[in-house]
Amino acid sequence: MMNQDTKVNSLDAKLSMAHIYVAFIALVLGGTAGLLQTLVRSGQFILPAGIGYYQLLTVHGVLLGLVLTTFFIIGFLFAGLSKTSGTLSNRIRFYGWVGFWLMTFGTALTASAILTGKASVLYTFYAPLMAHPTFYIGLALVVVGSWVSGFAMFIHFAKWKKLNPGQASPLLSYMAIATMILWLIATLGVAATVLIQYIPWSLGLVDTIDVLISRTLFWYFGHPLVYFWLLPAYMAWYVIIPKIIGGKIFSDSLARLSFVLFLLFSIPVGFHHQLTEPGIAPSWKYLQVVLTFLVIIPSLMTAFSMFATFEMYGRSKGATGLFGWFRKLPWGDARFFAPFMGMLIFIPAGAGGIINASHQLNQVVHNTIWVTGHFHLTVATTVLLTFFGIAYWLIPHLTGRIMTKAMNKLAIVQTIVWVIGMTFMSSAMHFAGLLGAPRRSAFSTYGDSAQALEWIPYQIAQAIGGTILFIGIILIIVIVANLAFFAPKGETEFPIGEVEEAAEKTPMILENWKLWVGIIIALILVAYTVPFIEMIQHAPPGSKGFSN
Ligand code: HAS
Ligand code: CU
């Protein structure tokens, strides 16, 4: 079984670190683009050297939303699997490298299309905006690379199962596999639209594209994408944080059940991104809204579980009163503090999501910068601060170094800077959105209309927040570079929590992947089959492409 003290094998560590380097390079470049965007939108700044606003916005979304996340997650999952279900075999590690290079090459191809100004189509690349074919081919390679890595992980996990028949798998490995299953099923949608629709169309092999179908396939992927970002953060919350604070995992079964629920309900909900889209019957939108509300449940379970872990730990340290435990938490430890601030921000962030999902309310916020505010709280704060919290122990563990007290202090400052910057930027986005300020658009006073002039103070607040966040990016890069290259040599723990002793034994049905995948497929068919048939039957003439 798992040995608490084993280090991740050094060859596995290299594979994992390669992913993490790319992730942080993407963070610097994407973050710089973000700073410039907020400056443009304040109305006080004009981009130099012929750089386009939408070109910049594409760099930002693709590098941060797609590259940073996917690379960091795959690097983290490989390390987690190697730690909890044994060193990777040479063959698995080889597949891991094949996946890494495919993804890296794909990223370079996509980036070259964007940087040469031939793909200013944003990270959602909505048709009929048309990019250069290399943009789509690069993205397809990123997806294929991630599949190779995903299958490598499945084979590694299957080997563990074979060697340990009838045993519940290590929790962290279980969660890694659930996350990759989610990713695999979700990416089928984006692979389909890119391979069948976008690539032939951008190559000029066909003249037109069916916009509604392309968007529907995109959001079939685009929603579970956000849970692909969230689940690794939840892995850290459930498994790593209890160990860091010196407490216990509240319940192994509850943690696994929440991951199963994410698998079931996170895919058949893409319509909540298309609630204002014509061509989909309201009854099908309604069904997917109901399913969206079901996928809120595992997050509420997670919130409950985290509170329970914190409270149990605090009381074991003699805390009394309703909130006495709060003071016992290790506030000075950045490995705890950064993810904790992520959790705290997830309370308003999740509430915003529930507003978005509420069919009628969506009409107020859709396509406004409110939505941008929503996802800067969820992915750019909750998820990212948790990833930073992971980096604070994972990088030194993998590079054989330790985090010094000074770096820990800097990481606490980094967290505070990030939360302040994001509070400014994201609150301003939410408010401006309620006043109708559009998302995905450069600065304009719309002919000095009274309404557009109302947005300007909020846009200046966004630029102030963006500037503070950029300081946060500089700080995290200093910390990461230190942990990777300059920190003193030494042993750093890979923290893995243990389950509270009184907890029930894990029911083996939670390991029954065939059952869960079967139910997912059934749910997807229920949610999508009829709408797809209707889209095809009632398809309007296809659209020609627009490019700049
Ligand atoms: Fe979302 C749009 C609905 C969660 C990301 N979302 C987006 C987009 C992104 C995104 C990127 O229904 C824009 C896509 C685009 O470019 O167009 N979202 C939801 C709902 C949830 C949700 C219902 N979103 C996320 C997460 C994301 C993310 C997570 C990234 C990681 N979202 C929508 C909808 C839209 C949308 C619509 C489309 C809008 C439109 O019109 O375009 C839910 O999953 C949220 C559930 C979460 C909770 C919070 C639980 C709280 C926890 C913390 C506990 C705290 C503790 C610490 C323990 C209910 C777990 C506290 C301790 C103390 C002491 C206080
Ligand atoms: Cu969604």
List, for residues 263-273, the tens digit of each pLDDT value. 999 999 999 99
Ligand nearest to the CA of 352: 1
Helix (H) or strand (E) holding 141: helix 133-163
Kindly state the average pLDDT of the residues 127-139.
96
Cα–Cα distance, 439 to 442 (Å, whole number): 9
User: How far is Cα 34 from Cα 426, in angstroms, rounded to an integer?
Assistant: 13
Least confident of 169-183, 184-198, 421-435, 501-515: 501-515
Query: Is 41 designated active site?
Result: no
CA neighbours closer than 13 Å in the CB half-sphere of residue 167: 16
My answer on whether omega of the bond before 128 falls inside 30° of 0, hence cis, is yes
Average pLDDT, integer, range 477-491: 96
d(CA 513, CA 182): 12
Q: How far apart are CA 123 and CA 52, in angstroms?
A: 15
Residue-wise burial string across 199-219, b where 16 or more C-beta atoms lie within 10 A, e elsewhere:
bebbeeeeeebbbbbbbbbbb
Neighbouring residues of 368: CB distance < 8 A, sequence distance ≥ 6? 432, 433, 434, 436, 437, 438, 439
Q: Which of 60, 272, 273, 376 is catalytic?
A: 376
Structure tokens at 109: 């191809």
For residue 443, the model assigns a pLDDT of 83
In the numeric block, the tokens 């979304």 are attached to: 61
Q: Alpha helices, DSSP H only, in 358-404? A: 359-365, 369-377, 384-399
ipTM of the complex: 0.97
Non-local CB neighbours of 4 within 8 Å, separated by 6+ positions: 496
Distances (CA, A) of 49 to 52, 53, 61, 112, 280: 9, 12, 21, 17, 43
Q: Which of 335, 374, 397, 430 is catalytic?
A: 374
DSSP 8-state assignment for residue 500: -
Does 223 participate in catalysis according to the annotation? Answer: yes
Q: How far is CA 326 from CA 97, 235, 312, 317, 340, in A?
A: 43, 22, 11, 11, 12
Which atom number of ligand 1 is nearest to the Cα of residue 307?
Answer: 58
Q: Using DSSP, how many helices (H) and how many strands (E) does the chain show?
A: 19, 0
- Is the CB of 292 within 6 Å of ligand 1? yes
Closest CA to 392 of 328, 308, 478: 478
Query: Does residue 119 surpass a pLDDT of 60?
Result: yes
Q: Which of 266, 307, 252, 286 is nearest to 504 (CA)?
A: 252
Helix 211-235 with 513-537: angle, nearest 10 deg: 160
Q: Using alpha carbons only, what angle is made at residue 248 by residues 247 and 254, rounded to the nearest 5 degrees?
A: 145
Residue 546 Cα, ligand 1 centroid: separation in angstroms? 32
pLDDT tens digits for range 323-332: 888 889 999 9
- Torsion angle in degrees (nearest 10) through CA of 331, 335, 336, 337: 60
Say what percent of the chain tops pLDDT 70: 98
- For residue 75 the two structure tokens come to 């690097």
226 Cβ inside 6 Å of ligand 1 = yes
pLDDT of residue 2: 46
145 near 101, Cβ under 8 Å?
yes
> Among the options 439, 443, 494, 528, which is catalytic?
439
Residue 368 three-state SS: strand
Q: 10-33: per-residue pLDDT in tens? A: 999 999 999 999 999 999 999 999
Say whether pLDDT at 412 is over 70.
yes
- Which residue owns the Cα nearest ligand 1 atom 9? 375
Q: From CA 183, how far away is CA 189, in angstroms rounded?
A: 10
Show the 3-state SS of 227-265. Answer: HHHHHHHHHHHHHHHHHHHCCCECCHHHHHHHHHHHHHH
List, for residues 244-265, the tens digit of each pLDDT value. 999 999 999 999 999 999 999 9
